[in-house]
Amino acid sequence: MIRRHFIRQMAAASAGLAIAPHLSAFPFAPKKKLGIALVGLGYYSTYLLAPALQKTKNCYLAGIVTGSPEKATEWQKKYGIKEKNTYNYQNFDQIANNPDIDVVYVVLPNSMHMEFTVRAAAAGKHVWCEKPMALTAAECNVMIRACAENKVKLSIGYRMQHEPNTQEIIRYGREKTFGKVQMVTATAGFKESREGHWHTIKAMGGGAMYDMGVYPLNAARYAVGEEPIAVTAVQKVYRPEVFVGIDESMSFQLEFPGGAVANCATSLGVNLSNYLMVSCDKGWYKLEPFSGYSGTTGVNSEGKTLDQLVREPEPQQQIRQMENDAQSILSDQAVLVPGEEGMRDIRILEGIYKSAKDGCRLVL
């Protein structure tokens, strides 16, 4: 599906961005349970989001958008999805006339996030967009503006910020429970062995930093509680015949205004440990894993185990994320992870790539 429709979708992007804003973010009567349409039926939608939506209370799986007719038929049978709630990438904009759909969840290759976020907003639908938010900060800004102009909410799929142990270490940093944060170490990666996967295609937003790198990047930011002021990065490619013009691995150091330093690494060529360590002037705390689908676990220097939901069954993190975001819409409150948060990461990510390319420390 990805290859078959990518070129066509890139050609259609300009038309999608030109769609006139919808007249209302809520053209139909408010509901107690929001209808979600998943755009893109790859691994994440199939094995995590769709199962999660069978267990959510504030929202449910109401529709799908796919370029594969065989997938559409399969999902309709499995989840009882109505024919009128099934779309492809060409007729997607007709979703504006469907009262069953309240939220569009964009689960597509990174290069397609901006187009479908803008088209969903123009259709008057709230948007949940997977991370990374987009390819550039300029694209992120277009997405934020489109949702604001159409009076719909935009939330980025940083599931870890909804997770209890992660929220605990964010609290540690905010309240200085173990003193001032001095150093953060964060790593996340795996060896991508799927031949021709979009992770390895530059035009589709592939590369280690876009896929796995946003985990340690975002973790460093929320652990320190500040925005970095400088970055030094080194890029590595082990399989140049596979990763053409993009990064297979990236290591980067972030400097923060309060004096903290974060040493981070990510890879699609090396099986890195999924690890987050925060060292402070009066103690330390860590999570390992810190971003695994099946839960997090950790400990602090006082011997307390961070185990509010250790090794929780899949897809509990996705359930919690979508429940929280749906409740924010239903109560008209700010979402936990808005577009501005996603854009902050992409601005730094662009700096990481520039530092690696130029071989220098870059002031952000």
289-316 pLDDT, tens per residue? 999 998 899 999 999 999 866 566 779 9
The pTM of the full predicted model, rounded to 2 decimals, is 0.90
**93: confidence class by pLDDT, cuts 50, 70, 90:** very high
Residue spans per domain, the chain: 2-156, 160-311+340-363
- Residue 185, SS3 per DSSP: strand
CATH superfamily, domain at 2-156? NAD(P)-binding Rossmann-like Domain (3.40.50.720)
pLDDT at 3 exceeding the cut of 50: no
Angstrom CA distances, 362 to 192, 233, 234, 235, 252, stand at: 29, 9, 12, 14, 11
- Residue 22, SS3 per DSSP: coil
**20: confidence class by pLDDT, cuts 50, 70, 90:** very low
Asked whether the domain spanning 160-311+340-363 has the same topology as the one spanning 2-156, the reply is no
DSSP tag of 130? P
Of 125-129, 144-148, 205-209, 336-340, which gets the smallest average pLDDT?
205-209
pLDDT above 90 covers a percentage of the chain that reads 84
Q: What is the CATH number of domain 160-311+340-363?
A: 3.30.360.10
CB 84 within 8 A of CB 98: yes
Residue with token string 């929320």 = 222
**364: confidence class by pLDDT, cuts 50, 70, 90:** very high
CA distance 99 to 212: 36
128-181 pLDDT, tens per residue? 999 999 999 999 999 999 999 999 999 999 999 999 999 999 999 999 999 999
Which residues, 6+ apart, have CB-to-CB distance to 360 below 8 Å?
Answer: 232
